[in-house]
Amino acid sequence: MSLTLHFHPLASYCWKVLIALYENDVPFTPNLVDLGNAAERAALVKLWGIGKFPVLQDDGRGEIVPESSIIIEYLDRHYGGRARLIPGDVDQALRTRLRDRFYDLYVHLLMQKIMVDRLRPDGKRDAYGVAEARVQLRTSYAMIEQQMAGGRWAMGDDFTLADCAAAPALFYGNMAEPFGDGQRNVAAYLERLKARPSVARVLKEAEPYFQMVPKEA
């Protein structure tokens, strides 16, 4: 196989790429990276100086592709299959990319702010920042609640890049700041995502690592 994905099964941004790979049955070699292992971290940094996963290595094309959204675009362009994750229509493609950015910036990052704070020792936690993140997350949930009132997937009838972004963001987001009674459309959307075969497969593979998810102190 020419494709290798450097990743971790618990990492939320890695889920985005795995969902895209599974949607189109793209063959690849998984390389699980333990960032706590100095040698494995060094190998990842050698590929991508930032040292964060996921990173896609394409030996057939001689490319190293970092960042989840860019990896999915790359896969869609060079290894596309039955599911077109970036719409062919230029305007719809732009709206899809915007929705992807929305989930990454206004759900995913806020969720991570809360989760990472749970790992900090006493005296080093950021109560103000976490409270702010919770408020912003609730604002995002309210927007998604409206967006999903009449649609099956993030962009309508077709499963896209935006849904790949939504699945990990909402799954972990609901752990960080649980949905309330006013987010029934959001909750129903997450259940549809979890039932999607590609997402269900990612969740199944992550199950052995769920005990590592930081809990509320």
Across 116-125, average pLDDT: 87
Residues 65 and 105 in one domain: no
Q: How confident is the model at residue 151 (pLDDT cuts 50, 70, 90)?
A: confident
What pLDDT is stored for residue 130 in this prediction? 93
Task: State how far the Cα of 147 lies from the Cα of 150, in Å rounded to an integer.
Answer: 7
Residues 193 and 151 in one domain: yes
Across 127-154, average pLDDT: 95
Query: Is 65 within a domain?
Result: yes
Q: Which residues of 117-150 are buried (b: 16+ CB within 10 A; e: fewer)?
A: beeeeeeeeeeeebeebeebbbebbeebbebbee
The percentage of residues in the chain with a pLDDT greater than 90, rounded to a whole number, is 90
Dig out the tokens for 159 from the structure.
Answer: 């499963």
Higher-confidence residue: 81 or 101?
101
Residues 72 and 121 in one domain: no
Number of domains within the chain:
2
Q: How confident is the model at residue 73 (pLDDT cuts 50, 70, 90)?
A: very high
Residues 31 and 107 in one domain: no
Query: Is 166 within a domain?
Result: yes
Residues 95 and 192 in one domain: yes
Query: Is 205 within a domain?
Result: no
Query: Is 85 within a domain?
Result: no
Domain closes at, from 78, 112, 138: 78
Sequence-distant (≥ 6) Cβ neighbours of residue 99 within 8 angstroms: 154, 155, 162, 165
Report the CATH number at residue 72.
Answer: 3.40.30.10
Across 172-184, average pLDDT: 95
The percentage of residues in the chain with a pLDDT greater than 70, rounded to a whole number, is 99
Instruction: Give the gyration radius of the chain's Cα atoms.
Output: 17
Q: How confident is the model at residue 121 (pLDDT cuts 50, 70, 90)?
A: confident
Residues 63 and 116 in one domain: no
Residues 168 and 107 in one domain: yes
pLDDT tens-place string over residues 38-69: 999 999 999 999 999 999 999 999 999 999 99
Residues 71 and 169 in one domain: no
Residues 181 and 96 in one domain: yes
pLDDT exceeds cutoff 70 at 217: no
User: Residue 48: which domain range?
Assistant: 3-78
Sequence-distant (≥ 6) Cβ neighbours of residue 162 within 8 angstroms: 96, 99, 100, 103, 153, 154, 155
pLDDT exceeds cutoff 80 at 1: no
What pLDDT is stored for residue 83 in this prediction? 86
Antiparallel, parallel or unpaired: β 55-58 and 3-7: antiparallel
